[in-house]
Amino acid sequence: MTTIIEVEDLRKDFGPTRALDGVSLEVEQGTVLGLLGPNGAGKTTTVRVLATLLAPTGGTARVAGFDVRTQPDKVRSIIGLTGQYAAVDEKLTGHENLWMVGRLLGMSKRQAHERAEHLLERFRLSDAGDRQVRTYSGGMRRRVDLAVSLVGRPSVLFLDEPTTGLDPVSRLELWEVARELVADGTTVLLTTQYLEEADELADRIVVIDRGKVIAEGTADELKDRTGGRTLEVVVARRDQVGRAQEVLCGLAPPEGVRTDPAARTVAMPVDHDTALAAEAISALTAAEVEIEDFHLNRPSLDDVFLALTGHAAETGEHHDPGEEHGRRFHGPLPGGADELLTDRKAR
């Protein structure tokens, strides 16, 4: 496969604060790379450097072979960016937002109109295309924001925590859109602090914490680093939890056996040894412990992150300066936008 994003020893300082401290990663064409980390890890700063919105302090970064520092115009011509905050004009309709971006990109009036109509249909917004964006739901706003980033048909798309603040249904809708884009050949770099999101969408995952890459691999490879599987047993009666714990402590190190009396569960690590799991069930049955249910659990990405960093993914203690710096790029559109809008209304 062709590598389309190459980052080596990327560093970014904001005064005395080092937001990126030697980040290196690669993204293969037509795949999704999940950049996973808590708030303040450096995810947004990484994206803004790759999107040429921030100049790196050191290291190198290339998108489709173009250097972000020396060839920013080339990079911008092939990328799209959807940030954490919707960058659409709420006083315009969905169609007007898309049409205006098309005109700013040099399309004719007809081309801009056709592209807007196509994207509204693709993102299931055709019925709302002539309504002002301020009347949209949160999920609809995110969809039109993503549609705006696709007006220029980018081959590389940066999604910077695109589902932040969305309800579960809207998150699922955006996930489906992301899958469709990748199926069409788009390369996606997705930043997220939602471990489920990275697990669902990413072909490979890079875990970043405090400006450094601390692990990378597929979701399964990262999960395997925590030691394999856990057998969890639900006993029928709460008064049997203690007895079940005694039985399992005879098969596994006692410190590895966990109980939750309120949930009537007892769990033990079995790594990749399914025979040990079967032996545990047999031992519980022989001890006359009545089993209501049991299952093997693979480690979640939450478990992986906690094991790698010592803290949960959603409780980052550090602030990513790139997040605040990035808000500067959500202002008015470039010169000429007012004239284009007047032109649009007269069309």
Q: What is the pLDDT of residues 118-153, one digit of tens each?
A: 999 988 999 999 999 999 988 898 889 999 999 999
CATH classification at residue 257: 3.30.70.100
Say what the pLDDT of residue 314 is.
59
pLDDT surpassing 60 at residue 163: yes
Q: What is the pLDDT of residue 193?
A: 83
Report the predicted TM-score, pTM, of the whole model to 2 decimal places: 0.78
Mean pLDDT of the 296-320 span: 69
By the 8 A CB rule, do 271 and 228 touch? yes
Q: What is the mean pLDDT of the chain?
A: 86
- If phi over 0 gives left and psi between -120 and 50 gives alpha, with beta otherwise, what is residue 176? alpha
Q: How many structural domains is the chain composed of?
A: 2
Find the mean pLDDT for residues 253-273: 88
Q: Are 190 and 159 in contact (CB under 8 A)?
A: yes
User: How far, in Å, CA of 96 to CA of 114, rounded?
Assistant: 12
Per-residue confidence (pLDDT) for residue 239, from 0 to 100 = 93
Considering the domain architecture, whether residues 92 and 152 belong to the same structural domain is answered as yes
Range of the domain at 62: 3-223+316-346
Region 14-27: mean pLDDT is 95
Choose the most confident range, by mean pLDDT, from 71-75, 135-139, 169-173, 191-195.
71-75
Tell whether 206 is covered by a domain.
Answer: yes
Is there a single domain that holds both residue 209 and residue 233?
A: no
Give the model's pLDDT for residue 244. Answer: 95
**159 vs 173: which has the higher pLDDT:** 159
- Verify that 24 and 110 share a domain, yes or no: yes
Q: What is the pLDDT of residues 281-300, one digit of tens each?
A: 999 999 999 999 999 887 77
- Residue 340 maps to which CATH number? 3.40.50.300
**What local confidence, expressed as pLDDT, does residue 230 receive?**
87
Is 156 a domain residue?
yes
Same domain, 158 and 243: no
For residue 86, pLDDT over 50 is answered with yes
pLDDT of res. 313: 63
Q: Is residue 306 part of a domain?
A: no
